Amino acid sequence: MDTEYVDKKVLKCQGLVDNATSDEQKKLYQGYLDFWTKKLPKAQRPEIITKKEEAKAEKILEENAELARLEMIAMEKAKVEAEELAEAKALKIAELEAKHRAELAALDEPEPEPEELNEINFELLYPNKKAYRTQNGERIETIAYKEYLNKTESE
């Protein structure tokens, strides 16, 4: 028998088996498929994948896909967690740095500006003393005021 003809029949039967609408019908078409497949020399018999086998392969693929999906989710989760951790860490570091900077800043705070040496400040500091006395209409620095000025300058 013409091999091309048998080939066509095998393909046709394969299609019928795959599209059978009931088990009985599938069995019937499978019988035809076997009938025609046997007519081909063994070497030329096409690899026949039945719908059942196809479904099995699909199931395995689906399961693999599910596993891959779960792995992907786990990886994503780990990534997010790592990112969150890094962010928290960065925040913490930033916070600590800020705190440290604040402390450093506190340490480096400049000395209060020395009070201006004048009689007002002197009299504020020593309310019961005078910075000047008047002698013969001339203003003369008092001893206390002189000491105040000398003392403050020498500090």
Write down the least CB distance from residue 71 to other proteins, Å. 45
Read off the tokens for 72.
Answer: 């992907």
77 touches 85 (CB < 8 A)? no
84 touches 78 (CB < 8 A)? no
Write down the least CB distance from residue 36 to other proteins, Å. 8
Q: Rounded distance, CA 115 to CA 2, Å?
A: 120
Q: Rounded distance, CA 86 to CA 96, Å?
A: 15
Using the contact rule CB under 8 A, the part of the chain among 27-35, 47-55, 58-66, 129-137 near other proteins is 27-35
19 touches 31 (CB < 8 A)? no
25 sits near other proteins (criterion: CB under 8 A): yes
DSSP state of 112: P
Write down the least CB distance from residue 40 to other proteins, Å. 15
Q: Which member of 3, 8, 84, 87 binds other proteins (CB under 8 A)?
A: 8
22 sits near other proteins (criterion: CB under 8 A): yes
32 sits near other proteins (criterion: CB under 8 A): yes
108 sits near other proteins (criterion: CB under 8 A): no
25: which residues sit within 8 A by CB, 6+ positions away? none
9 sits near other proteins (criterion: CB under 8 A): yes
40 sits near other proteins (criterion: CB under 8 A): no
6 touches 39 (CB < 8 A)? yes
10 sits near other proteins (criterion: CB under 8 A): no
Binding site for other proteins (CB under 8 A): 5, 8-9, 12-13, 16, 22, 24-25, 28-29, 31-32, 35-36
